[in-house]
Amino acid sequence: MAADPTLAQRLLDGDRRALARAITLVENEDPAGYEVVREVYPKTGRAAVFGFTGPPGVGKSTLIGALTKARRAADRQIGVLSIDPSSPFTHGAVLGDRIRLTEHFLDPGVFIRSMANRGALGGLSEAALQAALLMDASGKQDVFLETVGVGQAEVDIIDHADTVVLVLMPGSGDSIQALKAGVMEIPDVIVVNKRDHPLTDTMVREIRGVLSLAPQRGWRVPIVKTEASRGEGVDELVEQIDAHRAHIESEGTLSERRRRNLHNEVVALAAGRMRRRLEESLVEDAGFAQLLDEVVARRLDPASAARTLLEKTGAEV
């Protein structure tokens, strides 16, 4: 009798349970999870990865639900990864699986997962990056990444998606601040959701004004007005994200973008692990405690203390 296929092979064969198990392993920082990623990585790079960002409450989850419905109508396999705020106590995802996506839970062509961002300021955790790769390897043709709405800090989504969608809503001060804070440099497509709002057209004019001040690129960022809860404007959004995909493929910039993304991912993973190792090594380090005492007593400034710490650990200053 033949041996059972490995977890990695079952994942590559499209086994949903294998995908769920592999993501759990990487989320728990189990070495077995990273081994699965290592095995399946050569089979990745086939999925189109879309990143959705924007302030909280603008309807990102509802929009992704509507997009998922449209993509499934075209018989595409979908993976959805929602990055939620971490509980400060359990480090789990506070919001859990997205309520707005419940209609897709029983669809075998859709895999939905919520993960904690584990305090990652940019909205994506190390485990989330690995989970996206696992979804890709399992045969998902479209992967939707939805990140925590943390405004200006939420810029690392650009490092992990082929197409970035910024979702805003009219009448939101957070949205206008996002425009002014440099977030406008991030998106490839802008969505103004809840288009029935009386201030929608005003907001669209404001966005166009901000865009006109940005450096002009080959791709002209489109603004799509939607009412995601009713599925209105979703077909136009599908057209625009497909158009952007075609644009970066025809221009040859998809490979450039992915190379940049992978560069940033490797550096981010290395930096995150170095930080964890450093923090673990300092837990019971009497020397560090004394160094911190000097900082607290205002006899030593934090930057000088950091230099001393780096010298002690053998790192380049």
Q: What is the pLDDT of residue 284?
A: 81
DSSP-assigned beta bridge partners for residue 114? 82
Q: What is the pLDDT of residue 224?
A: 95
Structure token digits, residue 87: 């509980």
Q: What is the pLDDT of residue 146?
A: 87
Structure token digits, residue 234: 């979703």
Q: What is the pLDDT of residue 83?
A: 79
pLDDT string in tens for the chain (317-residue length): 343 468 999 999 999 999 999 999 988 888 899 899 999 999 999 999 999 988 878 888 889 999 999 999 999 999 999 876 543 333 444 444 444 566 666 788 999 988 765 544 444 567 788 899 999 999 999 999 988 665 444 556 666 789 999 888 887 665 556 555 555 667 899 999 988 888 888 888 888 887 887 767 788 899 999 998 898 999 999 999 999 999 999 988 888 888 988 888 788 778 878 888 888 888 888 889 999 999 999 999 999 999 998 888 765 43
DSSP readout, 8-62?
HHHHHTT-HHHHHHHHHHHHTT-HHHHHHHHHHGGG-S-SEEEEEE-STTS-HHH
Per the CATH hierarchy, to which homologous superfamily does domain 42-251 belong? P-loop containing nucleotide triphosphate hydrolases (3.40.50.300)
Q: What is the pLDDT of residue 177?
A: 61
The amino acid sitting at 63 is L
Q: What is the pLDDT of residue 281?
A: 87
Q: What is the pLDDT of residue 120?
A: 44
N- to C-terminal Cα separation, the chain: 58
Q: What is the pLDDT of residue 208?
A: 85
Domain ranges of the chain: 42-251, 267-313
Token pair 């106590």 is at which residue? 89
Tell me the pTM: 0.83
